[in-house]
Amino acid sequence: MRFAIPITLTAALFTAASSFAQTEAQEEANEKKVQLSEVPQAARDAAQKELGMAPTEAKIVSGTTPQQYELEAKDKSGKEVGVHVRADGTVVKKETE
């Protein structure tokens, strides 16, 4: 019985990690690169405010209602940061890769 808990916990963590990877891969599959000029101004403004810098890359996220855009930039340390925003400028989530 002493080994049942660690084994169960390890299995649960492995399942959660692989589930996260699948979710991340699915999310990437739903994104399509677009020109920044194709993103509504309100979304670009909100992204710049949230990121603290002007976005350099834009993607449209298919299958989202209302429509979401992922706008990305690189921070001072070179890490890619992104934010999901709606056309009206509502920030949905922030990501660091």
All domains of the chain, ordered by start, with CATH?
A: 31-96 (3.10.450.360)
pLDDT the model gives residue 97: 78
Taking only the tens place, the pLDDT of each residue in 1-60 is 454 455 554 444 444 444 444 476 777 788 999 999 999 999 999 999 999 999 999 999
Task: Find the DSSP H helices in the chain.
Answer: 4-29, 41-51
Residue 64: pLDDT over 60: yes
Which residue carries 């169960």 as its tokens? 8
Q: What's the CA dihedral at 12, 18, 19, 23 to 10 degrees?
A: 160
